[in-house]
Amino acid sequence: MTSEHDDGRGVSRRKILECMTWAGTGVLWTIAGGMPRSMGIIGEAAAAEAGGLTFLQISDSHVGFDKPANPNALGTLEEAVGKIKGLRVKPSFIIHTGDITHLSKPSEFDDADRIISQTRLDVHYVPGEHDVLDEDVKLYRNRYGRGTKGAGWYSFDANGVHFIGLVNVVDLKAGGLGNLGNEQLEWLEDDLKGRRASTPIVVFAHIPLWSVYPAWGWGTEDAARALDYLKRFGSVTVLNGHIHQIMQKVEGNVTFHTAMSTAFPQPAPGAAPSPGPMKVADDKLRSLLGVTDVTFKRGQQRLAIIDQPLQRSGQQQ
Amino acid sequence: MTRKICVATVLAVAILATAAAFSAASAQVANTEVKIDEFAFAPQRVTVKAGTTVIWINDDDIPHTVASSSKLFKSKALDTKDKFSFTFTTPGTYEYFCSLHPHMTGTIVVETGSTAAQ
């Protein structure tokens, strides 16, 4: 693994960094026939135009985090929830892509539940590495694991879209990246068997399922096998968190997207000595935190992904 | 007379206690520290004598763990300023990593060495 990375699939680090500059502004883009088309920078109003299925992604709340990068992570989660409550189009449900808590403490899970439940929406979770600090993943599974397999993976259907929640934060190997493991991959293969290739698929997991920046561990060791099972489907959208910034990549019919955190930003790949929490000016923080709005229009094989920062650049609180 | 015996006894006890303390100190090899900061173990490779206790200190803003690749030892999640220690008694090369961020790896090389020679 090198840091000057071009993973051979046509995405250079420079390209990723170009995508990065969109962070915090809000980008609407659509997928039709596997071809992505950026619709440019948009305002919140676009969410209201959407028909069909709309759901939200939130990620990396890190409830309990109190370091200089954001001394009040619970407060910014509350702000994100306030924003969700104010949406003109009520989403069908929320997907939380992990790191609900910072240290897997019961009190942190309690606080997160107390705030997130105010949205009055169903929430589909997958754990981040911060949610499984107890070896046997009991704290997470006791709360969110009902009806899931293994460390918490599962699938469900909504409006003709098949959703798959994967866990890639347990049983990590020395020197490696995120890990799905054989048991989960076999389950995934079985879960997809018999499904029509025209079924839109949304996969969500904490650590990116594509090689964002292996030098910082931003990738998943055995994701290639999962993507191999998915390649026959016409529309696959992969939603991840973990890296606390927006990044996108399209590979064939698969669109990858990472969401902002609601707690603190992290640096662009290689832009700092380490991926640790990034301290930014107080008036800039909320432009780097936010939620993601995803819309699927039936019959159009089209998912629109809109990232909504807590505060747009230049806007005052 | 009785008083003299008492003083002598107290002195003897004190001398014994001091001797015990000295022998404990001489049996101990100096501890070695490994800092965890910026998602890295520093120094990444440490060579110590058998009997050394290695102390890891998390100076990062993010929790980390210290996990032996051979499962010989594993810390709980260390929050900022938390410490973990392990005493290496058998010579050998011990690889370890952070089980939360497995790209973080380190090595402890334990050499044969009479602890008395320290």
Chain A contact set for B69 (CB, 8 A): 174
The dihedrals phi and psi of A226, each to the nearest 5 degrees, come to -65, -45
Q: What is the ipTM of this complex?
A: 0.80
Q: Does B95 touch chain A (CB under 8 A)?
A: yes
Q: Does A277 touch chain B (CB under 8 A)?
A: yes
What tens-digit pLDDT sequence spans chain A (317 residues)? 333 333 334 334 433 333 332 323 233 333 333 333 333 333 333 443 445 788 999 999 999 999 999 999 999 999 999 999 988 888 999 999 999 999 999 999 999 999 999 999 999 999 999 999 997 889 999 999 999 999 999 999 998 899 999 999 999 999 999 999 999 999 999 999 999 999 999 999 999 999 999 999 999 999 999 999 999 999 999 999 999 999 999 988 999 999 999 999 999 999 999 999 999 999 999 999 999 988 887 655 557 888 889 987 655 54
User: What is the predicted pLDDT for the residue at A295?
Assistant: 84
- The answer to whether the Cβ–Cβ distance between A172 and B100 falls below 8 Å is yes
> How far is B68 from A101, CA to CA, in rounded Å?
25
> How far is A264 from A285, CA to CA, in rounded Å?
8
Structure tokens at A269: 């790949």
Structure tokens at A49: 């135009």
| More confidently predicted of B57 and A301 | B57
The CA distance from B39 to the nearest CA of chain A, in Å, is 6
Q: Strand A254-258 relative to strand A247-251: parallel, antiparallel, unpaired?
A: antiparallel
The CA distance from A303 to the nearest CA of chain B, in Å, is 32
Q: Does A207 touch chain B (CB under 8 A)?
A: no
> How far is A68 from B61, CA to CA, in rounded Å?
9
User: What is the predicted pLDDT for the residue at A313?
Assistant: 65
Q: What is the value of pTM for the model shown?
A: 0.82
- Contact status, residue A291 vs residue A57, Cβ threshold 8 Å: yes
Q: Sign of dihedral through CA atoms A180, B102, B71, A141?
A: negative
> How far is A294 from A100, CA to CA, in rounded Å?
20
Q: Does A275 touch chain B (CB under 8 A)?
A: yes
> How far is A237 from A249, CA to CA, in rounded Å?
10
Output the CA–CA distances (angstroms, integers) from residue A157 to A31, A160, B12, in the order listed: 20, 6, 81
pLDDT at B9 over 60: no
How many interface pairs between A and B have CB atoms less than 8 angstroms apart? 57
Q: Please tell me which residue of chain A has the smallest CA distance to B65.
A: A133
- What is the b/e burial string over B41-57, where b = at least 16 CB atoms within 10 angstroms of the residue's CB? beeeebebbbbbbbebb
Structure tokens at A153: 């993976």
- Contact status, residue A317 vs residue A286, Cβ threshold 8 Å: yes
The CA distance from B51 to the nearest CA of chain A, in Å, is 25
Q: Does A234 touch chain B (CB under 8 A)?
A: no
- The answer to whether the Cβ–Cβ distance between A175 and B79 falls below 8 Å is no
Mean pLDDT along residues B3-27? 46
CA-based end-to-end distance of chain B: 44
- The answer to whether the Cβ–Cβ distance between B102 and A172 falls below 8 Å is yes
- The answer to whether the Cβ–Cβ distance between B38 and A104 falls below 8 Å is no
Mean pLDDT along residues B102-110? 97
User: What is the predicted pLDDT for the residue at A12?
Assistant: 41
User: What is the predicted pLDDT for the residue at A236?
Assistant: 94
Output the CA–CA distances (angstroms, integers) from residue A315 to A25, A226, A279, A309, A310, in the order listed: 11, 41, 19, 11, 10
User: What is the predicted pLDDT for the residue at B31?
Assistant: 92
The CA distance from B67 to the nearest CA of chain A, in Å, is 9
The CA distance from B77 to the nearest CA of chain A, in Å, is 6
